Structure 1
Amino acid sequence: MAFPNSLLDFTRIHQSVIYTSHHLALGPVLYCSREGFMKKFVIAISVGVLLVALAIVAVKGSQIMALIKMGESNQMPPTIISATEVVSQEWEQSLKTVGTLEAVQGVVVTADLPGRVTEILFKAGAEVRAGDVLVRQDITSEKAQLRAAEASVALAKSNLDRVDALYNKKVSSKSEFDAADARYKEAVAQADNIRSMIDKKTVKAPFAGRLGIRLINVGRDLGTGDAIVSLQAVDPIYVNFSLPQRDLPKISLGLKVRLTTDAVANKVFHGELTTINPEIDPVTRSVRVQASLDNKDLSLLPGMYAKLDVVLPEANKVLAVPATAISYATYGDSVFVVAQEKDEESGETKQVARQQFVRLGQRLGDFVAIEAGVSEGDTVVSTGVFKVRNGAPVVINNEAQPEFKENPQPADS
């Protein structure tokens, strides 16, 4: 250890010793005070955080309660809808089916006798009258045969006249007269047969109608029964269809029939029931029926498929609403009936929509029949059903309501 060299160094050493001794004496005390202070600090911080959390909960709770009170006092604005009254209508009853059109008279013109075609006097698709000549066949051979037959007729007539004169003078016998008369009649019949053959080789239209596609050409050798052209009389025109046997008591001759077909768009043809088959098909248990329709513009053709309505004489009385008033759902179809209700707090009367489940019937145009669930005179929501809720206030505005029809005719755009 080095000794101090002066008084100043001794003083410094003394102070250092005193300082060290002081700290060694106060160290445990200072450590204990610091630990207590930290515990108090943590407790104070926890209490502060708890108080802040309670304050936040109190503020938010008061805000939520205020919003709840505000929601209870406020009301949703009424929904604007269109409404219509449930009315009683008389709808016609009809039997719907499908059928096939058939010409009143239709035939494929054929050759009666074999022969070569020498002349065709018609155009495919033309209208012809009964008796118009369509085709001529070669008749040169028949003409020659006819000249020979006519000569035989003349000879037989001369013989008959001579025998008749002799018989009147009692010179000839009755048997000779009968033989001469028979030969004359045979010659006449032979000539008539040849004339008939010549006439049959001139093919004529058996009735008035429209011709089809030509099936022959000039120079063709026709055989007996070979087809020449189709001829159809289509004004009026028949439609054949079937109805179940359960509908047989409902139909009778003279009932009105409406027909539509996709071949003639946006047009309805009218006719009447003309024939009811006197027997039931044992396989299908249905009865075949035929109706006659006017076809002045010849737009209906044989073989066409058509949809039919057989109009029954008695009308059906129903309660009808527009189809847009129906709310369709898997658990049941419903409508919204507009009712008047009084507000208990304000005392004012307001209109509300009440959901009413219904049983639907048949459809006709834009309307649907209601079999149960509403009464005549009820007001139902006709448009805007999708935005209405049960018990919601509504306001009726029919300015934009569409026109509902029993027989709508949509125009092509």
Structure 2
Amino acid sequence: MLRRVRGRQKKALATAGLLGGSLAVALGVLVLGAEEEEAWQRLEVSYARELSRGRFLVRPLPPRTPGKTLSVAKITRYPFGFAVVETASGERALPKKPVAVRTLRLSAKAVRRKVVAFGAAEAERDATVVAEAAGTVREMLFALGEEVAAGDPLVRLDPRDAELALAAAEARLEQAQGAQQRARTETKNLLAQLLIAREALDARARERERWQVLAARETASRDRADQAENAWRAAAAEHARVKGAYEAALAGARESEARVSLAVAQRDQARLALARATVRAPFAARVAERYVSVGDRVAPGTPVARLVSSDRLRVRVHVWAGDAARVARGAAASVSFPAARDLLPAAGTLPAYPGAAAGFLGRVEGVAAAADPRSRKVAVDVSVEDPRGVLRAGLFARVEIDGGVVPGALLIPDSAVISSEEGRFVYVVEGDCARRRQVLLGARQGEARLLREGLSAPVELVVSGVALLYDGAPVRRLED
């Protein structure tokens, strides 16, 4: 038992000593800092990692110990045996053997530019169907997810009130039409009487004039002239009476026509109310939501169902302004949905354009005229054909838009590029040595970028093993 206690005490003391030593070293680094000295000498190192050109993190070796040799101009020593050195002429720790690399021979060729962006699919038509009449839901004629055609009935309300209103409106219309017919008949008869009265009045006027002339010549008696005058006056009174009756009948006929028009409008309104007792699909779609059940009381404007178009979707993506300049309305696009990848063969999709990834056929519908002030990106709407209805709104989509062909272009793989504060660099092979070249890259094309400046075709580019290279390093090509 005593031995176990002593063993535990020794372990505790060792742990405490280790922690104390680590704290002491850390405190020494903080308090004393690193030691810097000028050292124009050659230094043997067992480890060398380049921090920047001509500046290395190294672990110096004891004198006369074989290792890599550096010509050191300045050395800054740190605890734990490490140091940062600056070489006299920017030389590097040369490996003893050539670096094994894989290369790719690049030549200028026409490259089809692709603009890749991501977004969420939306239904091209997404509508909430509402009841247009008040009533009680009597029948539900659809199921969630069911496809419906334009005009298909969705919900039927209790139609009895609407049917009674229609019957009353039709009765009023029939009554008004009967009154209109009677008014027309009366007007027609009075018009005939008016014509007869007018002819009679004209005849009595001629006779009156003739007898007045004869009486003035004293070839006829004054009594006969007076009789003609009285006959004319009686004909005029009859004409005025018939004319007044005709005008009153004509006004009544016009009023009856107005009543018929009103009755027709009321009948049509009652028919519309009865038709609105059946809620129908406004377009071919799939039912996304249902909001009512049998027995619910609804008012005009009450949501009944949500419909989304099933044959076409729209994907809104946002691209950089430089890419937006290369996207034209009507350009082909290939749209893929990671969550529906297994549906592609069933849908029979083909590439949207030569070189495009397999996906659903899409077309650019429009490009925003201005960039978003927050993201500095431009919105692009892409319509997606889905004739078999295998997709769903809300799916995450990858959109690849045809940006045209770039002649005489070079594609630089991402694996060949080294990024630093000074820019982007690649290594090319000249003879059996690697040469570092600064490049300016353009738009991304999959796992590569278009070269804008820095290389001339043809060129042999290092695509594997670049991390171990430096300018002038000997290389050994690996064969695939």
Do the structures match in fold with TM over 0.5? Answer: yes
What is the Cα deviation at residue 207 of structure 1? 0.8
What is the Cα deviation at residue 212 of structure 1? 1.4
Cα–Cα, structure 1 residues 361 and 221, in superposed 2: closer, same or farther, change >3 Å? same
TM-score (norm 2): 0.56
Higher alpha-carbon deviation: 308-317 or 209-218: 308-317
Cα–Cα, structure 1 residues 175 and 393, in superposed 2: closer, same or farther, change >3 Å? closer
1:237-276 matched pairs, under 5 angstroms: 237-242=313-318, 250-265=326-341, 268-276=359-367
- Tell me the SS of whatever aligns to 2:366: strand
What is the Cα deviation at residue 223 of structure 1? 1.3
Cα–Cα, structure 1 residues 174 and 286, in superposed 2: closer, same or farther, change >3 Å? farther
Deviations 1:40-99 (A, max 9, x none): xxxxxxxxxxxxxxxxxxxxxxxx9xxxxxxxxxx9676665433122243334555444
Give the equivalent residue in structure 2 for 1:318. 409
In structure 1, give the amino acid aligned to 2:437.
F
Please point out which of 445, 450, 455 is paired with 1:364. Answer: 445
Structure 2, unmatched stretches of 5+, are 1-63, 65-94, 191-244, 343-357
Distance in 1 between residues matched to 2:369 and 2:430, nearest whole Å: 57
- Contact 1:156–1:183 at 8 Å: present in 2 too? yes
- Tell me the SS of whatever aligns to 1:167: helix
Give the equivalent residue in structure 1 for 2:295. 219
Cα–Cα, structure 1 residues 396 and 324, in superposed 2: closer, same or farther, change >3 Å? same
Give the equivalent residue in structure 2 for 1:108. 128
1:135-214 matched pairs, under 5 angstroms: 135-170=155-190, 173-214=249-290
Please point out which of 296, 301, 313 is paired with 2:392. Answer: 301
Deviations 1:316-372 (A, max 9, x none): 6433354444456677765444444xxxxxxxxxxx233323325244344455555
In structure 2, give the amino acid aligned to 1:301.
R
- Contact 2:119–2:315 at 8 Å: present in 1 too? yes
Please point out which of 85, 88, 96 is paired with 2:108. Answer: 88
What is the Cα deviation at residue 165 of structure 1? 1.7
Give the equivalent residue in structure 2 for 1:290. 381
In structure 2, give the amino acid aligned to 1:356.
R
- Contact 2:123–2:313 at 8 Å: present in 1 too? yes
Give the equivalent residue in structure 2 for 1:50. none
Distance in 2 between residues matched to 1:294 and 1:320, nearest whole Å: 31
What is the Cα deviation at residue 209 of structure 1? 0.7
Structure 1, unmatched stretches of 5+, are 1-63, 65-74, 341-351, 402-413
What is the Cα deviation at residue 135 of structure 1? 0.6
Higher alpha-carbon deviation: 83-92 or 211-220: 83-92
In structure 2, give the amino acid aligned to 1:291.
V
- Calculate percent identity across the aligned residue pairs: 26
What is the Cα deviation at residue 294 of structure 1? 1.1
In structure 2, give the amino acid aligned to 1:361.
L
Distance in 2 between residues matched to 1:324 and 1:396, nearest whole Å: 16
Distance in 2 between residues matched to 1:194 and 1:242, nearest whole Å: 50
Please point out which of 90, 103, 127 is paired with 2:147. Answer: 127
- Tell me the SS of whatever aligns to 2:410: strand
Give the equivalent residue in structure 2 for 1:61. none
What is the Cα deviation at residue 125 of structure 1? 0.6
Cα–Cα, structure 1 residues 225 and 256, in superposed 2: closer, same or farther, change >3 Å? same
Give the equivalent residue in structure 2 for 1:376. 457
What is the Cα deviation at residue 142 of structure 1? 2.0
Give the equivalent residue in structure 1 for 2:223. none
How many residues align? The count is 315
- Tell me the SS of whatever aligns to 1:145: helix
- Contact 2:133–2:276 at 8 Å: present in 1 too? yes
In structure 2, give the amino acid aligned to 1:239.
V
- Contact 1:239–1:292 at 8 Å: present in 2 too? yes
What is the Cα deviation at residue 302 of structure 1? 3.5
- Contact 2:330–2:365 at 8 Å: present in 1 too? yes
Give the equivalent residue in structure 2 for 1:353. 433
- Contact 1:339–1:354 at 8 Å: present in 2 too? yes
- Contact 1:358–1:371 at 8 Å: present in 2 too? no
- Tell me the SS of whatever aligns to 1:151: helix
Distance in 2 between residues matched to 1:152 and 1:382, nearest whole Å: 90
Please point out which of 207, 228, 233 is paired with 2:309. Answer: 233
- Tell me the SS of whatever aligns to 1:163: helix
Cα–Cα, structure 1 residues 181 and 370, in superposed 2: closer, same or farther, change >3 Å? closer
- Contact 1:332–1:357 at 8 Å: present in 2 too? no
Distance in 2 between residues matched to 1:221 and 1:382, nearest whole Å: 70
Distance in 2 between residues matched to 1:281 and 1:323, nearest whole Å: 29
- Tell me the SS of whatever aligns to 2:132: coil
What is the Cα deviation at residue 176 of structure 1? 1.9
In structure 2, give the amino acid aligned to 1:354.
A
Higher alpha-carbon deviation: 180-189 or 320-329: 320-329
Deviations 1:221-255 (A, max 9, x none): 01111111111114222233455667665443222
- Contact 2:141–2:154 at 8 Å: present in 1 too? yes
